[in-house]
Structure 1
Amino acid sequence: MARYFKEQDIDEFRECFYLFARSGQITSLDELTVIMRSLGLSPTIQELIAYLKKKGGKMSFADFLEIMHLHSKVEKIPEEVIAAFKAADPHNTGTISARQLRNLLQNWGEGLSVREVDSIFREANVNSNSMVRYADFIKIACAPVPDYY
């Protein structure tokens, strides 16, 4: 698996793995969930169950690296969202007005509350009259939420 990740990434994965899988193996859904989400991924519970089942309920660090590789190929949320913004950016400026972004966040899909949008804007340093570079905004907005379900 070393050919798929940089040495620095493997070191980070190893540190996180052994911090939460103290026995040297992942043996529970909770351990796998915490580790993967701590590393910035957002797998669904169904995906996590399938990964653990695929490895017979126990996962060594080598098995974990394989799962990280498989999941990183599947999870491309920021890239997909940026592609959607680009499709709606006819002049290819890479920006969207904060007012328009607020409207999208509050009125499309599940829709966020005013308070939630304000919180995201505060985190991303967006003021209500500015233009927002959507690629930078997406990196912040797509960061995993620290709720381990």
Structure 2
Amino acid sequence: MARYFKEQDIDEFRECFYLFARSGHIKSMDELTVIMRSLGLAPTISELASYLKQKGGKMTFADFLEVMHIHSRVENLPKEVVDAFKAGDPSRKGLIPARQLRHMLQNWGECLSVKEVDRIFREANVTNNSMVKYEDFVKIACAPVPDYY
């Protein structure tokens, strides 16, 4: 896997892997979810289940590197989200009402809770009555979760 990632990236992956998979193996979807999302990726529940199933329900660090390689090749989440916003922005102003954004986050796809949306809005300095520049919002929302949450 060294041919796919820089040594610095592998070190970061290793540190995160062993922080959450203390036994040296990922044994649950929860562990895999936390590790991948901590590294800035946003796999879906079905993707996570598939990765774990392909590895027989138990994943070593080498297996995890393979999964990271496969997933990082298919995911460019910020671009995908901005493209989706652009598709729903006929005026091409780059803005969306905060109330509409809240509704989308709580009711579409993998629905977020009110508390999760409140945290994201707080981090992005969004109020319920404001207009949101969706490109800026996506950069903040897709950033890795800070340690203090």
Q: TM-score, normalised to structure 1's length? A: 0.69
Q: Which amino acid aligns with 1:96?
A: L
Which segment drifts farther, 22-31 or 103-112?
Answer: 103-112
Q: Secondary structure at the match of 1:82?
A: helix
> Partners of 2:46 and 2:133 in 1: how far apart?
33
Task: Show CA shifts across 1:39-91 (max 9, x none).
Answer: 23333333222212212233221210110111223333321110123345567
Q: Secondary structure at the match of 1:24?
A: coil
1:39-118 matches, cutoff 5 A? 39-88=39-88, 95-96=94-95, 100-106=97-103, 110=107
Q: Which amino acid aligns with 1:68?
A: M
Which segment drifts farther, 130-139 or 104-113?
Answer: 104-113
Deviation, 1:92, is 5.6
> Partners of 1:52 and 1:114 in 2: how far apart?
29
Instruction: Say whether residues 1:34 and 2:31 are aligned partners.
Output: no
Q: Secondary structure at the match of 1:25?
A: coil
What RMSD, in angstroms, separates the aligned Cα atoms of the two structures?
A: 3.5
Q: Secondary structure at the match of 1:56?
A: coil
Q: Which amino acid aligns with 1:24?
A: G
Identity %: 71
Q: Which amino acid aligns with 1:105?
A: R
Which segment drifts farther, 80-89 or 65-74?
Answer: 80-89
Which segment drifts farther, 122-131 or 23-32?
Answer: 122-131
> Partners of 2:134 and 2:140 in 1: how far apart?
10
Which segment drifts farther, 64-73 or 38-47?
Answer: 38-47
Q: Secondary structure at the match of 1:78?
A: helix
Q: Cα distance 1:116–1:37, how it changes in 2: closer, same or farther (>3 A)?
A: closer
Structure 1 unaligned blocks of 5 or more: none
Deviation, 1:139, is 2.2
Structure 2 unaligned blocks of 5 or more: none
Counterpart contact for 1:40–1:143, Cα < 8 Å: yes
Q: Cα distance 1:121–1:11, how it changes in 2: closer, same or farther (>3 A)?
A: same
